[in-house]
Structure 1
């Protein structure tokens, strides 16, 4: 099958997990025998072949493409307005679809490549699949998080700046998400009403070597945190748990990641004594061998949880907050533990449990490695392949079907 993937971000452009997720999807489709061309946005127009994937960049279809760079308020407003339906994106993506002649058009997130891609594909009679990787379609920040916390219902500003996205989503034939939580959120608020849906969990490439682990019957337990050091990531919950446990408790904290310098100083000052080591931005293969357990204490509702899956792939149990998709990843008592988001005392209790019951920590390490196999690239590729084939077959028959994606 010929598949055109319009990706909001693709390596080496963009930040965070989005570009890697797009690349994983494209490679998975190629691995299952599909011809794949990726269209993404960058500074200029390029075309090359990477790992069997045709990658084409086009210049910005909006007033800018790099939304990680600070812009004047009026420029950002124009960008957000155009993201509801950008005529320039419509005609450019229609041209790209006509050029490649795909059997199916897939969007991996929709920023920059625009929701107009869905309409362009439908105007040319192509079935459309969308992959949800954030809350961008519902929230102009992409987080569904404000100063008051997680937004159960969109504020009027988000409803206003997302009206066109919601309307265009009705042109999508099938939609997938990496977690049931994230898909349900969109459907609850009226997105993708005409689309069949399925959960295809994200995949993390396992390490080439999983180091042997031996938990001592005594001595400190090394507690790790890796990711953006920001309030929404719940790092202060971990710091407060460390305060609750005290500086003499048998725990050492290893913090990897960057953030606002002032907030970093605040976090560093919150941890008691000298129990925490701040590594800054660190490669995963350097970080994970240093810790015995990883805490993912996010306050905002994570659409997935790459860090949690990465830790599991190293045989490291994970303590996650009950927020967003994170509880879907961890099996309590088998591969990790779960606590209420923002509750530092409950997190401290989880850590005490591991310190007092070292055999439990050893069992969780074994369970973590077993659980990580449910997020293998091979499993994701099989599920995705089955999904797109069913969508395309239903389109050829001229009727909708209900593709069932394996929850991997």
Structure 2
């Protein structure tokens, strides 16, 4: 079977969770004898014309076509964000060249809904793996630029205001004159109509897709609430493999204090500041906090974190880490992981990775995090955005000597990559068979 996988980015330049998941999936499918080709976006800021360039290469055994263009030069950049006709035509050429039997889209971000519209036009069976909220929210997170969470049903006026207030030009008037700015945004009919078109188009192409895979029940229910046919969307948690992880390597190195860690993106919606603020409620507590992640993406936010960490020797802003080579050693030296996100999350890889290493997780009682962690069994909840409540949870671990071992014993085995690919393979077979019957 020939499989064409479409994704916004692909390693080695991009190394996010979705990118590595596609890489692992492609390699695992090839190991089972499938022919796999990946198409991705390499740059959206390249060139001064409407030209799309591409290059083919092999990355660690996986054939990849990388597209580059300048989205700002598109005939209608705002509309092409969700219906990119350049990507559609590039994909058409690749499909004609490769003749795949199935198209598998991850996320939808940057590739846009045009790839699903094309698959439907060509009667090519298609699958979508949801990795974020892009089909519902242009910001991917359903977390507004003013720091508030969005809820369904989404209001296009609110969405227009959220996107507008990403710019300082509108942000400050929105804070100083909220009622006046409400009237302003209600009158932005062109933007509102565009966002309504976005929602209608993306829901339409999703409902033409054979199968949508959601890695969490939370995300599945959200998309059904948004209007997706419930028969099209299935729940399938992602798998992880740690072939070199033995029982001996999972044993924690001894320490006389509580070792708390954060691993992930360093951005405001991830709530790293909540963790650092919590330490102010625990000034004398015997604990350390290590923060791992890329500090280069959001310098203003990182400056805020550095101010919070100043004069507290218990905090280490470690920086980037190599997931494949360093993850196990990092988790071996942590007693508990904290995921303080102030957005919903989906099916966070870092929680599954922590569980694979017998590490309990403290999470915001929200969305996909609260679904993965069972309170008082394999982790603990705290109120989202509440540093004082997080401090109380960490104080509880310090005051209850047996709590950590109790939580460790409650961690169930996670799904491995073989199990995930077994399930995906069955979906592929069903989708292709259904396509042949329809044809």
Give the aligned partner of residue 150 of structure 1: 149
Deviation string for 1:226-271 (max 9, x for gaps)? 2222221112221232222x22112111112234334333324335
**1:288 partnered with 2:326:** no
Match of 1:329 among 372, 386, 389: 372
The 5 Å alignment of 1:2-401 reads 2-42=2-42, 44-50=53-59, 52-60=61-69, 63-64=70-71, 78-146=76-144, 147-153=146-152, 154-156=154-156, 157=160, 158-191=195-228, 193=229, 196-206=232-242, 208-209=244-245, 211-214=249-252, 219-244=256-281, 246-259=282-295, 260-271=298-309, 273-284=312-323, 285=326, 287-368=330-411, 371=412, 373-398=413-438
CA spacing shift, 1:75–1:354, aligned 2, 3 Å = farther
Structure 2 gap ranges (5+): 44-52, 161-194
CA spacing shift, 1:22–1:77, aligned 2, 3 Å = farther
Farther off after superposition, 145-154 or 36-45: 36-45
- Cα separation, 1, equivalents of 2:236 and 2:33: 19
TM-score, length basis structure 1: 0.84
State the superposition RMSD in angstroms. 2.6
- Secondary structure, counterpart of 1:150 in structure 2: coil
CA spacing shift, 1:148–1:265, aligned 2, 3 Å = closer
- Cα separation, 2, equivalents of 1:133 and 1:184: 14
- Secondary structure, counterpart of 2:278 in structure 1: helix
Deviation string for 1:306-349 (max 9, x for gaps)? 11122222221111112221122223333222222112233223
CA spacing shift, 1:302–1:194, aligned 2, 3 Å = closer
- Cα separation, 2, equivalents of 1:159 and 1:235: 34
Farther off after superposition, 230-239 or 254-263: 254-263
- Cα separation, 2, equivalents of 1:223 and 1:266: 20
Question: Residues 253 and 332 of structure 2 are in contact (CA less than 8 Å); yes or no, is this contact kept in structure 1?
Answer: no
Q: Using CA pairs below 8 Å that are at least 6 residues apart, which structure has the higher relative contact order?
A: 1
Count of aligned pairs between the two proteins: 382
